[in-house]
Structure 1
Amino acid sequence: MAIAAGAVLAVVMAALLAGFALGRSAEVAAVDTVPLTLRVTPPEPARSYRAPIVVRGNAVDAVRVSIGPTTVSTGPDGAFEISVPWAPAVEVVAVDAAGNQSSSIVVAGVDLPRMRAVHVTAHAWSHEGLREAVLDLAREGRIDTVQLDIKDEDGVVGYDSQVPLARESGAATAIYDASAALGQLHDMGLQVVGRIVAFRDPTLADWAWHNGRPDWVVQNPSGQPYSSHYGPIAFTNFANPQVRQYNIDLAVEAAQLGFDGVMFDYVRRPDGSLTSMNFAGLTGTPTEAVAAFLAQSRYPIHQAGAHVSAAVYGIASTRPDEIAQNIPLMSRSVDFVAPMIYPSHWGPGEYGVANPNAQPYDIIFRSLQDFVTATAGTGAKVAPWLQDFSLGVTYGDAELRAQIDATRDAGIDSFFLWNAATRYHGGGLQPA
């Protein structure tokens, strides 16, 4: 009986120990699989696409927190701070000692500064007198941004671009030194927006047509280059992947060189009847294809450090298919929409203004209201092109000031001034 009792006791003890071990294992397992708590503070908007995103938060019990390849240790209370290059969204991952992890997606915003800009051609920048006149406007605090041409209406790239197609087609020149220009302007605290005339490109169109690439060129129904008042062979085909990529490559190169922004101009079809032109490879409508080009270009340019804008016709807010510029659609893929609303370009009675050219405040204010409405909810800001040249009516300080006042009264703080000769009325620009 004693032996039997001892055996029973041993069995009971073993069972108790086993149960304790099983319970302890279950308890440890339960603790080891509990996700840690991760709290992330929404980051402040960056000031540019070159500025880093600074992500802060708290991850209790975490041993490390990472965003992509960047990893940091947490403080005693789980606090962390990570600085990473800008991206549209990043994933924050926190891991504890047992390997459990929690994650959170953070959306990054960019709060771009205002722009009070003047247009400068490549040749104007290379001319000391014209260049210094522009720089004097900056020294006096009248402008904070210079728009410097990258590729102009002739398809000429103003600096010695290393983009292969720019070199092969003969577009690359050495009119100005891009690095030196950017260095000088940045040293003065100025922003620089590079303008790329996208699909009006006689240099590339002519080269493509004579080098076995007719599909790169807008054609007429008989299969010849589409001729317009811009010339016998002026427009490239926005539906062609190589044409698109060429413009994107130039924009990315410019951003990498240090341009703060890239503006696409002539990002449209030629004006005229659609029945008189053919776009090889086009699927969908020209309006959809133009917007798709901007969508394709946005992230590569942002990733290279620059913001994106599109110069558009003033009529596009109400007549989107006339030149394939649908403002709500395009606005989803750009940071700025830049409507060219020069008073001299409006007809009598437009927006109820009897003589737009002689009533610059009225036509600017009323047309901008349409663009504010058209871009609402897209994330894009409006930065209009204003007129600083005379065409039918003499324009000076007062006329320029009226347009700027109208822009301000429409709730817009950015603008670009156009004068093809790069000569501006500084008296119409109040010092900041």
Structure 2
Amino acid sequence: MRRYSVLVALLLSACAGPATLIAGEAIRSPEPPDVLLQIQVIAGDDASPVRAAVVAGTETVTTDSTGVASVVWPENPLDLQLSAAGFLPQSVTVDELPEDSTMTVQMEPVVLHGVVLANDGRALPDATISTGSTDTTSAVDGSFTLTRAVPGELSVSRPAWLDTTVAWDGVSDEIEIVLEPRVIRGVRINSTTAGNLDRWQDLLDVVNTTGANAIVFDAKSEDGNVPYNTSVATAHEIGAVQVLYDVEARLADMEAAGIYKIIRVVTFQDSPMAKARPELAVWDKDNNDIWRNHQGFAWVDPTDRNSWDYPIALAVEACEMGFDEVQFDYVRFPSDGVISSMQFDGTYDQQNRVATIAAFLAEARRNIAPLGCAVSADIFAAVIETQTDEGIGQMPEALASSVDVISPMIYPTHYGSVWRGIENPGQNPLAILGGALSAGVPRLSDIGFAHYRPWLEFNPYDAPTVLAEIALAEEYNLGWLLWDGKGITSYDPSYLPGGS
């Protein structure tokens, strides 16, 4: 049986026959694999990998997240065309295949140089410029550089100024951007009224139906009290918290109505702090006690930097809660009382007074501006018409680079019996206002970046007088804020533009 099995196997093999071979045809070997060129694409500014499109003849590939792609190497030189968003196009000719079949191509970023200016030509620092893929901030001189810039719309924003968009074609490597100031027309509400739902709703209705667009709240008032439940521990420690309104509810109402939200921080007049921490207080050297002004209010010492932390903390919290602007009031040295008996840690001369107030506001803005809030300061109107600080440390030129907005308090009834040749200033509000604005506005024409927004006196004037005050401020395109020193509880819409 074994012999027959072998025979069958031989017969089957013979039947299969030899492989057919055609004359002139060689036996083919397997096709060799393609030779690949590996390309590493990196950025010229920091050598990071670049996602780029690579065109090699008829082949197009895209680099991966590590910046690497491979293309088939031809027998002749290879032309490569590379493109990537934010980078200049690159052309490379590869004459010979590198020994290790790899090469590196460096792509240079697109660089856009620009400057951000105010509408009056002054440089605007701290503006945010964004292309969507990258952003930067303007420097002190308003200049900026966008690296890896992508053609399209540039978005520009800055607190206290209107946001804008500018088209950039990607051809020019320089651009100038001009911002317009945000014109605010605001009314102040005292904290008691803010806590009364009916009166609050009345005020919302007035703002929504007139030419006003902002409301000013208090974070810390003249008596040093904080009228809402703050999370700043110091306010509770010194017994300053007296809750009068729900700040979060008021913010939500204003946000829903599209109202610009300002909060006012009375800064260095602070009886609770001076009493709790007398080491921070302005000292009465004659009586060896805390110094107080004629109204009985104590002050903390502006020259003691430890007195800065608390008002700045309240301001930061307010910005984080959702206010658009923090306004520092009483951001000065005391102006009434027995001035000769005051004692400060620092020297009490004009140079140091002015430097101290400017430094405080600059420090406040350094903490607040990155959060997206504007910073403003209330100043005595007299200092925009004189060449001294009037003993309080306020001069507009010195503050012009420390805050976004300067609000001179132009209250005719607060002037003496004669001002600049005008008798009975309280009875001549338009002459006082016009003189202040015409003298003050040019002083900021070529310095700093702040713009004016005056406080106008509401009480004791009638509607036509208040409307005339507003119209005069509008001639300067400054906006305005209305103040009633008696603590207004409601606004008659006939006192406001567009009201009846």
TM-score range, shorter chain: 0.7 to 0.9
Map of 2:370 onto structure 1:
303
- Contact kept in structure 2, 1:205 and 1:217, CA below 8 Å: yes
| Match status 1:184 vs 2:245 | no
- Tell me the distance in 2 between the aligned counterparts of 1:228 and 1:73: 55
How far off is 1:35 after superposition? 5.1
Structure number with larger C-alpha Rg: 2
Give the structure, 1 or 2, with the largest relative contact order (CA under 8 Å, sep 6 or more).
1
- Contact kept in structure 2, 1:313 and 1:340, CA below 8 Å: yes
- Count residues with an aligned counterpart: 365
Map of 1:289 onto structure 2:
356
Map of 2:34 onto structure 1:
none
Mark the runs of 5 or more structure 2 residues left unpaired by the alignment: 1-93, 99-103, 119-125, 138-145, 160-172
Identity percentage of aligned residues:
27
- Tell me the distance in 2 between the aligned counterparts of 1:105 and 1:224: 61
Out of 380, 383, 395, which is 1:313 matched to? 380
Q: Tell me the amino acid that sits aligned with residue 113 of structure 1.
A: R
| Match status 1:358 vs 2:464 | no
Out of 331, 336, 341, which is 2:405 matched to? 336
How far off is 1:149 after superposition? 0.8
Secondary structure of the residue aligned to 1:332 is coil
- Tell me the distance in 1 between the aligned counterparts of 2:389 and 2:403: 17
Out of 435, 439, 456, which is 1:386 matched to? 456
| Match status 1:265 vs 2:329 | yes
Map of 1:224 onto structure 2:
289
CA deviations over 1:2-56 (Å, ceiling 9, x no partner): xxxxxxxxxxxxxxxxxxx9x999xxxxx967855523566799xxxxx994523
Change (3 A) 1:225 1:189: same
Deviating more after overlay: 280-289 vs 111-120: 280-289
Q: Tell me the amino acid that sits aligned with residue 248 of structure 1.
A: I
Map of 1:175 onto structure 2:
244
Secondary structure of the residue aligned to 2:254 is helix
- Contact kept in structure 1, 2:111 and 2:147, CA below 8 Å: no
Map of 1:161 onto structure 2:
230
Map of 2:345 onto structure 1:
280
How far off is 1:426 after superposition? 2.1
- Tell me the distance in 1 between the aligned counterparts of 2:421 and 2:370: 43
Map of 2:473 onto structure 1:
407
| Match status 1:55 vs 2:125 | no
- Tell me the distance in 2 between the aligned counterparts of 1:34 and 1:266: 55
Cα RMSD of the aligned pairs, angstroms, is: 3.7
Q: Tell me the amino acid that sits aligned with residue 418 of structure 1.
A: W
| Match status 1:429 vs 2:496 | yes
Mark the runs of 5 or more structure 1 residues left unpaired by the alignment: 1-20, 26-30, 46-50, 58-63, 88-103
Q: Tell me the amino acid that sits aligned with residue 429 of structure 2.
A: P
- Tell me the distance in 2 between the aligned counterparts of 1:74 and 1:202: 54
Out of 114, 125, 128, which is 2:194 matched to? 125
- Tell me the distance in 1 between the aligned counterparts of 2:467 and 2:417: 22
- Contact kept in structure 1, 2:210 and 2:493, CA below 8 Å: no
Secondary structure of the residue aligned to 1:230 is coil
| Match status 1:249 vs 2:318 | no
| Match status 1:39 vs 2:78 | no
CA deviations over 1:120-148 (Å, ceiling 9, x no partner): 11111012343233212112123110001
How far off is 1:348 after superposition? 3.7
Greater share of strand: 2
- Contact kept in structure 2, 1:351 and 1:367, CA below 8 Å: no
CA deviations over 1:273-296 (Å, ceiling 9, x no partner): 654211124596222111110111
Provide TM-score, normalisation by structure 1: 0.75
Deviating more after overlay: 303-312 vs 131-140: 131-140
Change (3 A) 1:181 1:108: farther
Change (3 A) 1:413 1:362: same
Q: Tell me the amino acid that sits aligned with residue 223 of structure 2.
A: D
- Tell me the distance in 2 between the aligned counterparts of 1:364 and 1:347: 15
- Contact kept in structure 1, 2:116 and 2:127, CA below 8 Å: no
Secondary structure of the residue aligned to 1:285 is helix
Secondary structure of the residue aligned to 1:372 is helix
Change (3 A) 1:258 1:44: farther
Provide TM-score, normalisation by structure 2: 0.65
Deviating more after overlay: 259-268 vs 140-149: 140-149
Map of 2:263 onto structure 1:
194
- Tell me the distance in 2 between the aligned counterparts of 1:341 and 1:380: 18
Change (3 A) 1:39 1:227: closer
- Tell me the distance in 2 between the aligned counterparts of 1:430 and 1:225: 46
Secondary structure of the residue aligned to 1:157 is coil
Q: Tell me the amino acid that sits aligned with residue 483 of structure 2.
A: W
- Tell me the distance in 2 between the aligned counterparts of 1:327 and 1:82: 32
- Tell me the distance in 2 between the aligned counterparts of 1:373 and 1:157: 37
Out of 193, 196, 220, which is 1:151 matched to? 220
